[in-house]
Amino acid sequence: MKLIKRNNYLKKLINVIGTPDIKVLTGIRRSGKSKLLEAFKNYVAENIKDVNIIHINFNIPIFENLMEYHNLYNYIEEHYIDNKKNFLMIDEIQMCDGFEKAINGLHTLEKYDIYITGSNAFLMSSDLATLFTGRTFCIDVYPFSFKEYLEYYQYSNIQDAFDNFVKEGGMSGSYLYKTQKEKYDYISDVYNTLIVRDINQKYKIRNIDVLNNLNNYLMDNISNLTSSNNITNVLNSNNVAITDKTISNYIKYLCNAFAFYKITRYDIRGKKLLSTQDKFYLSDHAFRYALLGTTNMDYGRIYENIVAIELLRRGYEIYVGTLYNKEIDFVATRRNEKIYIQVSDNISDENTLQREVKPLLEIKDAYPKIIIARTRHDLYQYEGIQIYDIANWLAE
């Protein structure tokens, strides 16, 4: 498989070399965590003198005897070398029974620089403080961005590239397949056999059909405001007997596994978070097409999903903005930076343009306001609002 350097992630790993933290690569299955760890291993081997790298990949059968934490601990200690910088890198750590005991013990010794990856359902960000007694440093790894997609395929026309990215998404394992059906078969298999299976394995889901129904509902309603109560009512009306509490738990499981990202509402005028109704975005928009089909492409929602994940990838915290009963797709914040963003499929129609512009113009503060749409033009302004073509914005 063709590999590209994911330099943004690699730089994050390089910047924390030598810190006492347990470095954890998190993110959805098949998003490239293992390849990233391998690239980091190569960097360390090539650039750090007097180094000893202990690399364990539990996907390889040779390490099967280490799937118990005493064996893992002893193996690592046996491969420690005095007077060298000892790097410990472990892939799919959850396959070792009691892994957290081994990692905590090794971390306590203060002689290893520790880096691990694992299945999302078993190594969730919310669980790390409980699992590990030492401080953890998390790097969230997302599927390929449009910019990485461009680099992989070496497109000469950015608009043609975006047309294909909208259909194919960022699950790079699918790029090896030639037909759209084969690509979607791969993406569907990743979702069903890895993500859903992991959730079922960890939480012992009694009725997997309910989880699948919820999954399909959220995929079909990306970018729509919803709540667990609304979903429960819809499923009950379709003869699916389920409670609001169970739906709420299942949503949490899907978000913990990085299948979906939950985005809460923010009252711009009152400057406070709102507790009712949220939006959910897929970690990769191609999952929707692979599992639900392409009869309804619904480009506006897909573009919004793509922008949401790209903002998260760029390190923003994002919220759904509300102002005088109007909605702003995203309020994106990063340190002292704030941006108000509307996303649209096509704003060539004057009525559509005015609908997108009006809520932004009613915001009275001086933070930047932008519209991201499929304009196929260079950046321009409309009454102080910057208007980006989505392909150009993603490729920045």
- For the chain, domains (ranges, CATH) are 7-140 (3.40.50.300), 207-394 (no CATH)
pLDDT at 249 (0 to 100): 92
Span 110-123, average pLDDT: 84
Q: For residue 226, is pLDDT > 90?
A: yes
In percent, the amount of the chain with pLDDT more than 70 equals: 97
CA distances from 320 to 129, 341, 361 (A): 28, 10, 16
Q: For residue 154, is pLDDT > 90?
A: yes
In angstroms, the CA 363 to CA 152 distance is: 40
Mean pLDDT of the chain: 92
CA-nearest of 339, 217, 362, 186 to 280 is 217
If you search the block for the tokens 């929707």, which residue do you land on?
288
Q: Choose the weakest-confidence range: 39-53, 97-111, 137-151, 262-276.
A: 262-276
Report the C-alpha dihedral over residues 181, 305, 343, 395, rounded to 10 degrees.
-70
Q: Choose the weakest-confidence range: 17-21, 121-125, 278-282, 325-329.
A: 121-125
Q: Kindly indicate the confidence band of residue 157, based on its pLDDT and cuts at 50, 70 and 90.
A: very high
Span 130-134, average pLDDT: 80
pLDDT at 325 (0 to 100): 85
Q: Kindly indicate the confidence band of residue 133, based on its pLDDT and cuts at 50, 70 and 90.
A: confident
Q: For residue 121, is pLDDT > 70?
A: no
Pull the structure tokens for residue 46.
């090539």
In percent, the amount of the chain with pLDDT more than 90 equals: 77
Any idea what the Cα angle at residue 136 is, between residues 135 and 141, rounded to 5°?
A: 170
Looking at residue 156, its amino acid is S
pLDDT at 257 (0 to 100): 85
Per residue in 309-360, pLDDT tens?
Answer: 999 999 999 999 999 889 999 999 999 999 999 999 999 999 999 999 999 9
The DSSP H or E segment spanning 115 is strand 113-117
Q: Kindly indicate the confidence band of residue 49, based on its pLDDT and cuts at 50, 70 and 90.
A: very high
Pull the structure tokens for residue 356.
């997108």
Q: For residue 295, is pLDDT > 70?
A: yes
Put the strands of the sheet holding 113-117 in their side by side order.
Answer: 51-57, 85-91, 113-117, 22-26, 136-140
Q: CB burial class (10 A; 0-12, 13-18, 19+) of residue 11?
A: exposed
Phi-psi region of 373 (alpha: psi -120 to 50; beta: other; left: phi over 0): beta
Q: For residue 120, is pLDDT > 70?
A: no
Span 46-63, average pLDDT: 96
Per residue in 181-213, pLDDT tens?
Answer: 999 999 999 998 877 888 888 888 888 889 989
